[in-house]
Amino acid sequence: MSKRHLYSAALAFLLILGSLGAEPGATTQPATQEGPVAGGLTEKDFEKMFMDAFVELGKASTAPATQAAPLSDKEIVRAMQRNALKLLAALKWGTTAPFTQMAPGELDRALDALIDEAERRAKAPPLAPATHKALARPDRPWEVVGTKEFTIAVPKGWRKLPQPILNNVVYLTGDGIGAPVVDETGNPIQIGMAVERYGKVKDSAVEGAKRNLGTLEYDPRLKVLSKNPPQPLKLSDGTDAAFNRVLLIEDRSRKSLQMKLFAADSNSRGWVVSAWIVTGRDSQFIENNAPLENRLRAHVTSLCFDQSKFNTSALAAAYGGRPTQPATVAPAARDRK
């Protein structure tokens, strides 16, 4: 049996298993975000089963053949969680209908698309090793990383994922480093940054940014609080780029600030740089820490495809402001202006 049939069978088995779990005489109810779908399972339960099943596909398809050790289950699960929105959008096949209501043919096409993409990435050559990642100075709170393809400044001391997977070529977390461990409501603060590389793109950076904003409508777990129109800008090497800023509520319990930069290199390959701050829903940590947001934006927009034109002046200006405020102390009103 081919890999494709194995994965399709595994996913189909999960759906069948859920329906067999229903009590005798029970009927399948329409899919809603909170209500049961089949066998007492909610749509979120089905989403989790799909994600768990896709872990095995990710483990087989994203680890380079030259990798010394296989990726751990935890690393795979974290990667799948980071890409949940993309996976679910693909499963829904460009519609807002829950995938549990999809016709069998539609579901097959969605699964085939996911498997094809994972196998394509597995055959893609790995990125060249970083050649100038040690360009860090003790007097600066950032370090420069990259390969022959790109250069970017990242916060110094943040934890790096040992082997970035899927589209990620850089993935860092600053939990407890770039921000306090918890916010003023006692909820954990998550802060991070990632650089993703994709295949060739035809759309402009602004068009790609607009499409990204449009995908937010496909996930019922997200509530957008504010979003700015894509901001066109130039990278330090003159490359056209676009910047998105979105503030939203995730899963009804977490507030998330998401910043994304979209650009294409000279070979028309798409690049996306992201930074995020995630807190408890009722926290004001994000609103009270505009300087932290400004520093993350400076990191995101420092992407450069010509190392000779790499520039950190925006970073120097951003780090010249006041430090991140403690989660339990709000700045004076005049400082918020």
Give the model's confidence band at 7: pLDDT under 50 very low, under 70 low, under 90 confident, else very high: very low
Q: What is the pLDDT of residues 183-229, one digit of tens each?
A: 999 999 999 999 999 999 999 999 999 999 988 877 888 999 999 99
DSSP-derived secondary structure letter, 107: H
Q: Is residue 176 part of a domain?
A: yes
- The residue with greater pLDDT, 268 or 90, is 268
Higher pLDDT, 135 or 96: 135
The DSSP 8-state label assigned to residue 152 in this structure reads E
Tally the domains of the chain: 2
Could you tell me which of 19, 23, 34, 18 has the C-alpha nearest to residue 98? 34
pLDDT in the model for residue 151: 96
Q: Any residues with CB less than 8 A from the CB of 170 and at least 6 apart, and which?
A: 145, 152, 154, 160, 164, 193, 194, 195
89 shares its domain with 54: yes
- Note whether residue 128 is domain-resident: no
The range of the structural domain enclosing residue 174 comes to 135-336
Residues 98 and 187 both lie in one domain: no
State residue 249's pLDDT score. 95
Question: Helix (H, G, I), strand (E, B), or coil: what is residue 242?
Answer: strand
Please check the confidence at residue 21 and state whether its pLDDT lies above 90.
no
- Residue 38 vs residue 262, higher pLDDT: 262
Q: How is residue 271 written in tokens? A: 């690049």
Q: Check: pTM over 0.75? Answer yes or no.
A: no
**Which of 95, 123, 151 is where one domain is finished?**
123
DSSP state of 45: H
Classify the C-alpha dihedral 303-197-180-75 as positive or negative. Answer: negative
Q: Around Cβ 69, how many Cβ atoms within 10 Å? A: 8
Is the CB of residue 288 less than 8 Å from the CB of residue 330?
yes
Give the count of beta carbons closer than 10 Å to the beta carbon of residue 123: 8
Q: Tell whether the model's pLDDT for residue 107 goes beyond 70.
A: no
171: left (phi over 0), alpha (psi -120 to 50) or beta: beta
- Residue 73 has phi, psi (to 5 degrees) of -60, -40
* In a shared domain, residues 240 and 328: yes
Q: How far apart are the first and last CA of the chain?
A: 63
| Domain annotation covers residue 283 | yes
Instruction: Give how far the C-alpha of residue 210 lies from the chain's centroid of Cα atoms, to the nearest Å.
Output: 16
Q: How far apart are CA 166 and CA 62, in angstroms?
A: 6
Q: What is the mean pLDDT of residues 140-147?
A: 91
Q: What is the band of 26 on the pLDDT scale with cuts at 50, 70, 90?
A: very low
d(CA 110, CA 113) in angstroms, rounded, equals 5
**97 shares a domain with 149:** no
> CA-CA distances (angstroms) from residue 175 to 129, 182, 283?
26, 9, 16
Helix (H, G, I), strand (E, B) or coil at 129: coil
Pairing outcome for strands 142-146 and 135-136 = antiparallel
pLDDT at 2 exceeding the cut of 60:
no
Indicate whether 103 and 151 sit together in one domain.
Answer: no
User: Does 258 or 178 have the greater pLDDT score?
Assistant: 258
Last residue of a domain, one of 63, 91, 123: 123
